[in-house]
Structure 1
Amino acid sequence: MSWRTSYRSFYYETLPADALPDIRLPADATALLLIDLQRGFYDPAPLTPDATDEALHEYRRWAPYRARMAGTVLPNAARLLARFRAAPATARAVIHAHITSLTPDGRDRSLSHARPGFNNLHYPPGSPGAAFLPETAPLPGEIVLGKTTDSAVTGTTLRLLLANLRVRHVVVAGVFTDQCVSSTVRSLADESFDVVLVDDACAAATDELHRAELTIINNLYCQVLATDETLGALAP
C-alpha cells in the first residue's frame, strides 16, 4: 500500500490520492528527529530467574513491542540515520531527543511525566534509562535535546534550532507513536513545519495503538511514509 492511500481516517477517506502533492525532502532543508530511542523504553535483556510473577506477566505483555523494536524500528531508524549522515556536513541535520530531567529528584518534570502510572517518568541525568540505544546513538556533532515533556517542541529549544538551521521539513521516528511522537508531530505541524512520520521506524506499546494514532494524525499533521518511501523522497 502506498503512503497516498494508507492510514486514511474518516475525515480523509474521500480525498483523492492524486490530490496529495509529491513529497520532496531537500537535504539542506530537512532534519531527522529521533525521539526517545533510549534504554528506559527498550531493554532486550531477558528476565532474571528470580523474577516475580508480576514481572514475568509484564515482560510477556510487552513481548510484541520488544520484537517490533528489535526487528523493525531500530534497523529502520539506523537506515535513516545512515542516509542523513551521508549528506554533506553543511546540509546534515540530525537531532536526538530523549527524556531526562535536569534535576536529580525530577522536580523539573512536566505534570504529564509526574502523574501516577506508566507515564510517571524519571530518568535523572546520566541514568541508565536516559542512555541512548547503541543502534541509533548520537555521534559527535549531532544535536541532543533532553526533555521532561512529551512534545520535543514544547519542552526544548527545538523550534529555535530548526529555524536557525533553515529547516522546513522534519522526518520523525521513535517511540511511543501515540505519546511523545504524536505530541511532537502535532506541535511541529502547528509551527508550520512539513512533517514526515516514518511508520516502520516508530512503535507504540501495541500495534493497535500504533495504527490508530497514525490514522488520526496522517494527512492532518503529517504524512505517514514507510522507510523505503522516505529514503526515496530524500534528495540524493
Structure 2
Amino acid sequence: MSWKTANRSFYYAQAPEPDDPVLLPHETALLCIDVQNYGMVQSTDPDERARWEPFHTRMRETVIPNLRTMQTLFRRNGIDVIHARIACLLEDGRDRSLSQKLPGWNNLLMPTTSEASQIVPELAPKTGEIVVTKTTDSALTGTNLRLVLNNMGIRNLIVTGVYTDQCVSSTIRSLADESFFVILLEDCCAAGTDELHRRELEIINMIYCHVMSSDELIGLMGLS
C-alpha cells in the first residue's frame, strides 16, 4: 500500500488518490521538531521505564536514523533543513503557553541553556541552519517561523519529529491553515505509543498534510 491509499480516516476512505506533488527544492524545506535530549532520558522508575521503552526503541532504531538520513540528503541537495525546539526563555518559565504550564506530563520547564532542551547530537543543526525556539506546541504559532518561511519563498514543508500527536500535529495544522503544503514522514516521527502515532496519522492525513514514508519522499523528489 502506497502513501496515496494508506492512513485513511473515515472522512477520506472513498476519496480519490492524490496526485504526486511538485516539490521544487527552492520552495521546500525539512522541518525537524523537538527531537531533544529531554525526550531521550529514561525514567529511573522500573514501571515507567518499561511503559516508555517502545517509544525509546522507536526513537533509537527508526526515527533518529531515518531523520539523520533525510537531513543528509537534503543538505547534499542544497535544500534547507530547519530545526524547532521547545524551551522557555525565562528561568522560571513564565513565558510558556498555558498548555506548557498546566500540571502533568506537558509541564516542561526547560530554559534555553539547559542540557535537556538541546537537540540530540545525532541531529544537531549544522552551521548556518535556522533554529527556532518555541514556548508553544506549534512551531509556527510560537516563533517567527511564518515570517522566515515567507521571506525565503518556502511553500512546502517536510515535517518530522516528536510527538506525532502533539507538537508535530499542532505545527502541521498551523501550517495548513496558513496554506503551506505539508508532508509528514511517518517513519521520522513518534508518539508516546504506536497506537497514538497511527491514530494521529489517520486524523491529519489528506486534510492537513499527506503522510508518506521517507523512502517514498526520496523517490518522489529524486534525492540521492
The correspondence for 2:176, drawn from 189, 200, 203, is 189
1:178 CA displacement: 0.2
CA distance in 2, matches of 1:74, 1:113: 25
Normalising by structure 2, we get a TM-score of 0.97
Where 1:181 maps in the other structure, the secondary structure is: helix
Counterpart of 1:207? 194
CA distance in 2, matches of 1:185, 1:128: 27
- Name the aligned partner's letter for residue 64 of structure 2: L
Structure 1 stretch displaced more, 207-216 or 22-31? 22-31
Q: Could you say what the CA RMSD is over the residues aligned between the two structures, in angstroms?
A: 1.1
Whether 1:157 and 2:144 are equivalent positions in the alignment is yes
Whether 1:33 and 2:31 are equivalent positions in the alignment is yes
1:14 CA displacement: 0.5
Question: Residues 235 and 191 (structure 1 numbering): CA distance in 2 closer, same or farther, change over 3 Å?
Answer: farther
Query: How do 1:30-109 and structure 2 match up within 5 A?
Result: 30-43=28-41, 51=44, 55-88=45-78, 92-109=79-96
CA distance in 1, matches of 2:67, 2:3: 18
CA distance in 1, matches of 2:107, 2:41: 18
CA distance in 2, matches of 1:76, 1:195: 18
CA distance in 1, matches of 2:193, 2:116: 21
Counterpart of 1:6? 6
Counterpart of 1:123? 110
Where 1:200 maps in the other structure, the secondary structure is: strand
What CA deviation, in whole Å up to 9, does each residue of 1:189-218 have, x standing for no partner?
Answer: 000000000000000000000000000000
- Name the aligned partner's letter for residue 222 of structure 1: C
What CA deviation, in whole Å up to 9, does each residue of 1:105-145 have, x standing for no partner?
Answer: 11100000000000001111210110111111101100001
- Name the aligned partner's letter for residue 159 of structure 2: V
Counterpart of 2:19? 21
- Name the aligned partner's letter for residue 10 of structure 1: F
Are the equivalent residues in 2 in contact too, given 1:27–1:235 (CA < 8 A)? no
Q: Where does the alignment leave 5 or more consecutive residues of structure 2 unmatched?
A: none
Structure 1 residue ranges (4+ consecutive) displaced by more than 4 angstroms after TM superposition: none
Query: How do 1:169-180 and structure 2 match up within 5 A?
Result: 169-180=156-167
CA distance in 2, matches of 1:153, 1:118: 22
CA distance in 2, matches of 1:223, 1:150: 20
CA distance in 2, matches of 1:122, 1:164: 32
Where 2:207 maps in the other structure, the secondary structure is: coil
Structure label with greater radius of gyration: 1
What CA deviation, in whole Å up to 9, does each residue of 1:42-71 have, x standing for no partner?
Answer: 136xx6xxx4xxx11111100000000000
The correspondence for 1:226, drawn from 213, 216, 219, is 213
- Name the aligned partner's letter for residue 85 of structure 1: R
Structure 1 stretch displaced more, 25-34 or 181-190? 25-34
CA distance in 2, matches of 1:108, 1:181: 21
1:235 CA displacement: 5.0
Are the equivalent residues in 2 in contact too, given 1:194–1:222 (CA < 8 A)? yes
The correspondence for 2:120, drawn from 119, 122, 133, is 133
1:231 CA displacement: 1.3
Percent identical among aligned pairs is 52
Where 2:3 maps in the other structure, the secondary structure is: coil
